[in-house]
Amino acid sequence: MEQSLVLIKPDAIQRCLAGEIISRLEKKGLKIVAMKMLQMDYALAQHHYAVHKSKPFFAELVDFITSSPIIAIVFQGRSAVSLIRQTMGETDSAKASPGTVRGDLGIDLSHNLIHGSDSLENASQEISLFFSDEEIYNYTRDIDRWIS
């Protein structure tokens, strides 16, 4: 089982799309094991997007992600990292395939509604930026009991 970090970005909350996006991931069978609403501060944004520090869009990205509250979620499931990336669609919403969150609902490259970790290694590092071990729940869903 993999765990991955999802951020429902400020544009998704502003456009009342949080439920729709979370629902798409839940319907895929992914299990919510941690969730919180927060407004990212500059320091957290710098850490989370450290890999993009030298990019020309970095300042715009940090401004955007700190502009209003987000929802941070840890999803768990088989191949969770790649499953979430597929459900998100590619970075530029204008190029993302129909059927993906970004392809169906996103506006452009910066207003693309959702973050999902891009590797298992980054997932674990990103999860620890947002959640303590005690905030991540280990439980069995009825649906998993009934199916297996």
Q: Is the distance from CB of 4 to CB of 117 less than 8 angstroms?
A: yes
Nearest to 105 by CA among 27, 57, 114: 114
Q: Residue for token digits 């509250």?
A: 69
Q: Judged by CB under 6 A, does residue 115 bind ligand IDP?
A: yes
Q: Is 109 in the site for ligand IDP (CB under 6 A)?
A: yes
Q: Is the dihedral of CA 8, 12, 13, 17 positive or negative?
A: negative
Q: How many CB atoms lie under 10 A from the CB of residue 115?
A: 19
- Contact with ligand IDP (CB under 6 A) among 14, 57, 68, 95: 57
Q: Is 112 in the site for ligand IDP (CB under 6 A)?
A: yes
Number of residues that bind ligand IDP (CB under 6 A): 10
Measured from the CB of residue 60, what is the shortest distance to ligand IDP in angstroms? Answer: 6
CA distance 131 to 134: 8
Q: Which is nearer to Mg ion, 19 or 91 (CB)?
A: 91
48 labelled catalytic: no
The answer to whether residues 69 and 37 touch, using CB atoms and an 8 Å cutoff, is yes
Nearer to ligand IDP, 57 or 137 (CB): 57
Pick out residues in 26-55 that bind ligand IDP (CB under 6 A): 52
Least distance to Mg ion from the beta carbon of 118, Å? 5
70 bridge partner residues = 38
Which active-site residues does the annotation give?
115
Q: Which positions touch Mg ion (CB under 5 A)?
A: 118
